[in-house]
């Protein structure tokens, strides 16, 4: 028997439309401007510029473009550095790291997000190495930018109460924020870790490398006594400088891994199961005394 109330024609299609809209929005990424609402058939609207940028980002030549841009950036910041010896010391590890990435690009290519993160970090490091980290004139840069908007005599240091040059702290924070994701990719693809360990181990590696770098700075300061050693060390009279640098690197890595975990918790269906499974004891019996 038919009811006198007309059927809601949208009720039957709403679940499909909802799923279609969710699927459309899921395919969108932070680097592309997609719009799903109000479009016939829920087809995303992508501008020509966004389409070109997305193809370029996903294309196989993107890492080569990043490397070329980094070489140009390095060349621009290599002309008459403030302290040439310190400049060379700062870039020994940079050159070695880039050589390693190039040598392993075919056997172990990284994601474009990892390459972008590495590019951003090294770009910051190049600027710091040019001036030495304790002399980067970011306060003058901030004053110049503020003057464009009619603000005169603006001082970033005075605004935040800084008593030292904090560019080195910024780069240590960036070390954690930007390089923890490549470390996560390494663990996911090489060690095949899952769940909790895919977030903890990258954080642990960043903290370990931050510690090793502070030890390296100490060793360089001992070998190269005088201005070169002090410029490389860059403590600026703060006896807790190394501790604060390591803390900022750890904080940056923790922030990135927290964001990644929240994104995966939202979109990865088996996130909770995988996370719990990774903490389950796999071998209940302890190792024998003769086992290592």
d(CA 87, CA 122): 14
With pLDDT > 90 as the criterion, what percentage of the chain qualifies?
Answer: 52
Residue 5 C-alpha from the chain's centroid: 57
Of 192 and 20, which is predicted with more confidence? 192
Query: Rounded to 5 degrees, what are φ and ψ at 25?
Result: -70, -30
Statement: residue 14 has pLDDT above 50: no
The neighbour count for residue 213, using CB atoms within 10 Å, is 17
- Give one DSSP letter per residue of 142-174, joined into a string: HHHHHHHTT--S--HHHHHT--S--HHHHHHHH
Query: In the predicted model, what is the mean pLDDT of residues 212-228?
Result: 76
pLDDT value of residue 9: 42
Q: Contact, 245 vs 168, CB < 8 A?
A: yes
Statement: residue 156 has pLDDT above 60: yes
d(CA 9, CA 11): 6
pLDDT value of residue 217: 80
Burial label for 144, CB within 10 Å (0-12, 13-18, 19+), is exposed
For the stretch 38-80, pLDDT in tens is: 334 444 445 566 678 888 888 889 999 999 999 999 999 999 8
pLDDT value of residue 42: 47
* The model's pTM: 0.78
pLDDT value of residue 39: 38
Residue with tokens 């190039």: 102
pLDDT value of residue 193: 94
Please report, for the chain, the start and end positions of each structural domain, with discontinuous segments joined by +.
Answer: 62-268
Query: In the predicted model, what is the mean pLDDT of residues 173-191?
Result: 96
Select from 162, 143, 161, 163 the least CA-distant residue to 153.
143
pLDDT value of residue 289: 67
Confidence of residue 287 (pLDDT cuts 50, 70, 90): confident
> Could you tell me the CA-to-CA distances from 236 to 134, 136, 240, 243, 264 in Å, in that order?
7, 13, 10, 14, 41
Q: Which two tokens stand for residue 238?
A: 């703060």
For the stretch 221-280, pLDDT in tens is: 777 655 655 555 555 667 788 888 999 999 999 999 999 999 999 999 999 999 999 999
Query: In the predicted model, what is the mean pLDDT of residues 138-142?
Result: 92
Residues 6+ apart with CB under 8 A from 246: 172, 207, 210, 211, 214
d(CA 135, CA 138): 9
Of 219 and 15, which is predicted with more confidence? 219
């Amino acid at each position: 028997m038919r009811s006198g109330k007309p059927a809601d024609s949208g009720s039957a299609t709403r679940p499909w439309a909802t799923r279609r809209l969710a699927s459309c929005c899921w395919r969108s990424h932070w680097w592309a401007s997609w719009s799903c609402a109000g479009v016939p058939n829920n087809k995303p609207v992508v501008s020509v510029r966004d389409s070109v940028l997305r193809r370029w980002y996903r294309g196989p030549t993107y890492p080569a473009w990043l490397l070329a841009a980094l070489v140009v950036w390095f060349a621009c910041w290599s002309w008459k550095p403030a302290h040439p010896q310190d400049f060379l010391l700062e870039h020994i590890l940079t050159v070695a790291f880039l050589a390693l990435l190039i040598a392993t690009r075919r056997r172990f290519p990284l994601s474009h997000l990892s390459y972008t993160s590495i590019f951003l970090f090294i770009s910051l490091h190049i600027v710091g190495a040019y001036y030495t980290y304790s002399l980067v004139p970011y306060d003058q840069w901030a004053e110049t930018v503020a003057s464009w908007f009619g603000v005169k005599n603006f001082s970033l240091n005075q605004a935040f109460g800084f008593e030292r040059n904090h560019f080195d702290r910024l780069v240590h924070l960036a070390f954690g924020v930007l390089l923890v994701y490549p470390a996560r990719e390494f663990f996911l693809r090489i060690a095949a870790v899952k769940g909790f360990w895919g977030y903890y181990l990258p954080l642990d590696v960043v903290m370990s490398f931050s510690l090793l770098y502070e030890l390296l700075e100490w060793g360089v300061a001992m070998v190269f006594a005088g201005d070169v050693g002090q410029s490389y060390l860059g403590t600026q009279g703060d006896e807790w400088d190394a501790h604060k640098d390591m803390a900022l690197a750890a904080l940056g890595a923790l922030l990135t891994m927290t964001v990644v975990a929240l994104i995966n918790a939202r979109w990865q269906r088996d996130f909770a199961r995988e996370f719990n499974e990774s903490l389950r004891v796999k071998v209940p019996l302890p190792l024998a005394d003769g086992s290592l």
